[in-house]
Amino acid sequence: MRRPNTPSIGLWLLWGEPAVLSAASRAGFDWLAIDQQHGRFDDRAMREALSVPRDHRADVMVRVGANDPMLIGRALDSGADGVIVPMVRTVADAERAVAACRHPPAGIRSSGPPLVTVRDDAPDRGAPRCSIMIETAEALAAVRAIAAVDGVDELFVGPVDLSAALGRSLEELVSGGDELRAVVAAAHDAGIPASCFAGSARAASAFVALGFDAVAAATEDALVDAGAAAVRAAVLDPAPGRAAAAATTVSY
């Protein structure tokens, strides 16, 4: 359970392996993101991932491949708690994404049977979340207007693309911080959270210091690397209790 007034920590999933979702949901992350834009999750893998048993305390979002009503609808029909919509540049783009998340008369989402079997004990999540990515110069210039669009539930910064769009390095974008703080301020003034992809604990800490409410702090690769290093250290330099603690995490 996340403590009040602490950042929401997420795990970004790229491998396209549905079974990872079940394990990831037990790891204590507040939310998980399935990446269909740059990850290996095709339509089938996404549906399988969203249907595996998991700890329902962790919300599962899908970063769809494009701002496309069909892609957004399939992610939501597959059981995603919401979508992260990339490459939004204008208010009109944001309005189009919101409309794709809502059934008529509020939007244009088509009604149909769910694409996965919903467990009887699965909680009702309510309306799906529509998270709009801010990762272009145009979106940054219109960030306050985008945040004010009715139905936008979150602003989500893609820092790598945003830094490239601004002609700066990622380090310059984060160390300067003005553009990122502008996104945070726009979100908070609109009464919605500001989130960001970080990819590592160190980067996540920097984004939290800038005011972000939620950060994707790791990918599967990062977790495997960190876990391997921890196990090796516990074996080679067993501080009191460390080796025993590491051993208890092994399952057969």
pLDDT tens digits, residue range 64-97? 999 999 999 999 999 999 999 999 999 999 999 9
Q: How many domains does the chain have?
A: 1
Flag whether 3 is in a domain. no
Q: Which of 38, 56, 103, 188 is an active site residue?
A: 38
The verdict on residue 71 lying in a domain is yes
Residue 250 has pLDDT above 50, yes or no: no
- In this prediction, residue 175 carries a pLDDT of 94
pLDDT mean over 145-149: 98
Q: What are phi and psi of 237, to 5 degrees?
A: -135, 70
How many Å apart are CA 5 and CA 89, to the nearest integer?
A: 31
Q: What is the pLDDT of residue 6?
A: 86
Residue 45 confidence class, pLDDT cut points 50, 70, 90? very high
Q: Is residue 136 part of a domain?
A: yes
User: Which runs of E-coded beta strand occur in the chain?
Assistant: 8-13, 31-35, 59-63, 82-85, 129-134, 154-157, 194-197, 214-219
Average pLDDT score, the chain: 88
Vertex 103: Cα angle to 97 and 109 (nearest 5)? 50
For residue 53, give both structure tokens. Answer: 């048993």
Domain of residue 144: give its range: 8-111+126-247
- Cβ atoms 180, 157 nearer than 8 A: yes
Is position 163 within any domain? yes
The answer to whether residue 76 sits within a structural domain is yes
pTM over 0.85: yes
For residue 166, what pLDDT is reported? Answer: 97
Query: Taking a C-beta distance cutoff of 8 angstroms, is the pair 186, 144 a contact?
Result: yes
Q: What is the CATH number of the domain that holds 26?
A: 3.20.20.60
38 is catalytic: yes
Residues 167-197: pLDDT tens digits? 999 999 999 999 999 999 999 999 999 999 9
For residue 240, pLDDT beyond 60: no
- In-domain check, residue 90: yes
3-class secondary-structure state, position 100: helix
Other Cβ atoms closer than 10 A to 40: 12
Q: How confident is the model at residue 223 (pLDDT cuts 50, 70, 90)?
A: confident
